[in-house]
Amino acid sequence: MMRGNMRSFGADSVLSVTLILVLSAARAFAQPQRGLVPGFFIFGDSLVDNGNNNRLVTLARANYRPYGIDFPQGSTGRFTNGRTYVDALAQLFGFPYYIPPYARTRGPALLRGVNYASGAAGIRDETGNNLGDHTSMNQQVANFGMTVEEMRRFFRGDNNALTSYLSKCIFYSGMGSNDYLNNYFMSDFYSTNHDYTPNAFASVLLQDYTRQLTQLYALGARKVIVTAIGQIGCIPYQLARYNGTNSRCNEKINSAISLFNSGLLKLVQNFNNGGLPGAKFVYLDSYKSSNDLSLNGTSSGFEVVDKGCCGVGKNNGQITCLPLQQTCQDRSKYLYWDAFHPTETANILLAKLTYNSQTYTYPMSIQQLTTL
């Protein structure tokens, strides 16, 4: 899913900031410049998976209607009604097409970017096993390694030319949500909740993630966006399960992921301060953005921020969207598409807000990252 321990804005400040940012970013989104970056490589989970899970034996699949109901190509395997966050970001980068999934991309097309993301995937290999097969972060990095080897042929074995090319590309990595949702807080299937305190689990996750991101760097990644975990204690899935008295959200989960997020921010600072020479990492604070949208959704045009547009049970969050199920009437008014994932409207808004503003990015905007 989409990411420290950050303060939320007041309603008035969020309204003014949001309107200014959306208006300024809308022009860039409607008329993107061409060729800002030569390639876009994506690693993550179901928030950005665009079809890699379609042929896997897993419950984490979305290649059926009404998923994709608002996407031009229909049900492609995206876990939302239309575009994902990285689809919208690719448009802002100026790509005239959507970055294709690794499962069906080979040859020269690899040069323009590949999406390696897999629904239910996590930083840890066992994460998501409760749902079936998936491609973990370790395997996604290995798949990129194979891509680099294939790309080497198009540069006639000139490693310097390939390295130069990759240094101009943008890399996106959004991991960690499933390590909590489909691992740490699923104690009937996993032992990690008994094996680690929240602090210790965040530490082992960050240790593994550091190694994985360092491997991407060794393979050529230099401009990297890493996302914090979103406020998953407040998604419809948790609202349907949690019966707390002091908060509508499961703050136990939010507190645990905040430990990971604060550590991830420090990791980005370390990478940028010489830990990985020549690299520039941008921390995307999806925890703060999801919190702001939930608290002040009406200022961004959302009328429903606690229920899925499609789903079953309380908050449409007990069971995810079923095949051919009837959806909500106006999908643009919903923050969440199903029990876990944002709607296309939310994804596009977040892409606009994070592209040329530092409201949710550190130490620079994503647009600034493209110019380096």
Q: Does 244 score more than 90 pLDDT? A: no
> How high is the pLDDT of residue 319?
85
> What mean pLDDT comes out for the span 214-218?
98
pLDDT band at 36 (very low <50, low <70, confident <90, very high): confident
**pLDDT higher than 80, residue 9:** no
| Active site (catalytic) residues | 46, 338, 341
The three state secondary structure string of the chain is CCCCCCCCCCHHHHHHHHHHHHHHHHHHHHCCCCCCCCCEEEEECCCCCECCCCCCCECCCCCCCCCCCCCCCCCCCECCCCCCHHHHHHHHHCCCCCCCEHHHCCHHHHHHCCECCCCCCCCCCCCCHHHECCCCHHHHHHHHHHHHHHHHHHCCCCHHHHHHHHHHCEEEEECCHHHHHHHHCCCCCCCHHHHCCHHHHHHHHHHHHHHHHHHHHHCCCCEEEEECCCCHHHCHHHHHHCCCCCCCCCHHHHHHHHHHHHHHHHHHHHHHHHHCCCCEEEEECHHHHHHHHHHCHHHHCCCEEEEECCCECHHHCCECCCCCCCCCCCHHHEEECCCCCECHHHHHHHHHHHHCCCCCEECCCHHHHHHC
Mean pLDDT of the chain: 90
Q: What is the pLDDT of residues 69-93, one digit of tens each?
A: 999 999 999 999 999 999 999 999 9
What global pTM score does this model have? 0.90
Question: Where residue 34 falls among pLDDT bands split at 50, 70, 90?
Answer: low
> What digits encode the pLDDT tens for the residues 136-161?
999 999 999 999 999 999 999 899 99
